[in-house]
Amino acid sequence: MKASRVASARSWLRTSNVPSDEYLEGIYYVQGRDFVDAGIVSSEIKKNLKEKGIPESIIRKVAVVTFEAEVNIISYAEQGTIQYYVEPGSITIEAKDIGIGIEDIELAQQEGYSTADDSIREMGFGAGMGLANIRKYSDEFEITSVPKEGTYLRSTIYVNGK
Ligand SMILES: Nc1ncnc2c1ncn2[C@@H]1O[C@H](COP(=O)(O)OP(=O)(O)O)[C@@H](O)[C@H]1O
Ligand SMILES: [Mg+2]
């Protein structure tokens, strides 16, 4: 191969390496009622972000968001997914599920409001702070739900004070 071709291939490789360095994403499946595995997805995401060198203060916020979203899918939905996207300046978490959905979104976000039954409370969940805390730690937050169909939640956390 000509030297100039090699050089341009090298420069292409370097350029194409930039996105893989700044971007990272993943998707995880969450099974409803599977309390034994509660926290696995959020731990996995936390581990990936640590390896990526994301600041601890940001990881803590993402951990709260992913953990609360994960426990909500396990507690109230049939099944769902949790996705995360690391982009330059922000990390976004999306939780989608198929399930009973939420009738009153405003009420559900109030601190202390919970429809958790005894089986959920026995496991230490159901304090009614999940959505309130997700909202608190998010720089952008959106939740929509269709009763008897499912729920969609998106949280974006800024990195470097974007
Ligand atoms: N994914 C979901 N699907 C259906 N209902 C949900 C979901 N997430 C939250 N909810 C409803 O919103 C309420 C408040 O949620 P949250 O603030 O996490 O508190 P908790 O889970 O402790 O009850 C829940 O009790 C439940 O009624
Ligand atoms: Mg909850």
Report the pLDDT value the prediction gives residue 18, as an integer from 0 to 100.
47
Q: Residue 62: what residue type?
A: V
Q: Is 97 in the pocket of ligand 1 (CB under 6 A)?
A: yes
Among 2-6, 84-88, 97-101, 111-115, the range scoring the smallest mean pLDDT is 2-6
pLDDT for position 16:
46
Of ligand 1's atoms, which has the minimum distance to the CA of residue 126? 22
Query: What torsion, rounded to 10 degrees, do the Cα atoms 53, 47, 57, 55 define?
Result: 0
Q: What residues sit around ligand 2, an ion, with C-beta below 5 angstroms?
A: 72, 130
CB-ligand 1 contact for 116 (6 Å cutoff): yes
Q: Is the CB of 75 under 6 A from ligand 1?
A: yes
The number of the ligand nearest the C-alpha atom of 95 reads 1
What confidence tens digit (pLDDT) does each residue in 104-160 have? 999 999 999 999 999 999 999 999 999 999 999 999 999 999 999 999 999 999 998
- Hey, how many other C-beta atoms are within 10 angstroms of the C-beta on 1? 6
Determine if ligand 1 sits within 6 Å of the CB of residue 38: no
Q: How confident is the model at residue 93 (pLDDT cuts 50, 70, 90)?
A: very high
Q: Report the topology of domain 24-158.
A: Heat Shock Protein 90 (3.30.565)
Closest ligand to residue 105's CA: 1
Domain coordinates in residue numbering, the chain = 24-158
pTM above 0.85, yes or no: yes
pLDDT at 137 (0 to 100): 98
If one compares 17 and 122, the residue with the highest pLDDT of the two is 122
Q: Is 128 in the pocket of ligand 1 (CB under 6 A)?
A: yes
**Reported confidence tier of residue 68, pLDDT bands at 50, 70, 90:** very high
